[in-house]
Amino acid sequence: MCLDLDRNKLRSIAGISKLCNLKKLILSKNEIVDFPDEIQSLVRLEKLELNQNQIRVIPEGVFCHLPRLKHLRLNNNRLSALPRDLAACRGSLQYLNISNNLFRTFPQPVLQLACLQELHVQNNALRQLPRELFQGQSLKMVKASGNPLREPPSEVCAGGIQQIQNYFNQLQHSACHPRHQPPHVSAELVWIHSGVGEQKKGSHHFHPCLLFSPPEELALPLPLVAHHSFN
């Protein structure tokens, strides 16, 4: 059963809670501001499209009642966060589109969507896509253009899932196997009393020297080098 109400300039919708067998609900391209709470009654819903509205917030307690949801379009709204209970769709949701919204940080509930195959996050304000997103086997496509991405860089994301995974694998390898650093040799300038030479008017002769303390792995000892003396 499908209900298609797109392009109707709707600001709200009522009475849909009675449609308990509804599988597809299309409310795109309307003027909806408040997320319809009655959607939580549609326990058989598999496809929900609310794209191109004016929704700012999705309340908690909706998605936990939608265990069969496979397809969710929320693009072209004013969202900056997703409810935590979106993770309740971890065993069903395969397609998610949240492009053209106001996300500045990646929404954490998405990381728990174990069956997600296609993700659209284009044209937000994201600077980072988390490594955890690419550790599963289900994700086949990520679209992230139009974000000020630093990690992974935009050019890496444009190469697809495999290139993104290679990028993170290289980062991990570099962190586990840093380049060999040369042994650290410390040196300090010290003044050593020579004990040699004549004393004039109770004064002593001192020699400025560089005293090196080599690490144990260096086999050859470094001698004390005297530069000059003060009279």
Q: What is the pLDDT of residues 85-136, one digit of tens each?
A: 999 999 999 999 999 999 999 999 999 999 999 999 999 999 999 999 999 8
Mean pLDDT over 146-158 rounds to: 94
The per-residue pLDDT for 184 is 43
The answer to whether residues 66 and 123 belong to one domain is yes
The answer to whether residues 164 and 80 belong to one domain is yes
The answer to whether residues 118 and 195 belong to one domain is no
Task: Classify residue 231: in a domain, yes or no.
Answer: no
Can you give the residue range of the structural domain that contains 94? 2-176
Report the predicted TM-score, pTM, of the whole model to 2 decimal places. 0.75
Sign of CA pseudo-dihedral 66, 111, 57, 12: negative
- By the 8 A CB rule, do 32 and 51 touch? no
Task: Classify residue 158: in a domain, yes or no.
Answer: yes
Sign of CA pseudo-dihedral 148, 150, 153, 157: negative
Task: Classify residue 181: in a domain, yes or no.
Answer: no
Average pLDDT, the chain: 84
User: pLDDT: is 73 or 183 the higher one?
Assistant: 73
The answer to whether residues 208 and 118 belong to one domain is no
The answer to whether residues 120 and 202 belong to one domain is no
The per-residue pLDDT for 136 is 86
Q: Is 155 a residue whose pLDDT tops 50?
A: yes
pLDDT band at 149 (very low <50, low <70, confident <90, very high): very high
pLDDT band at 174 (very low <50, low <70, confident <90, very high): confident
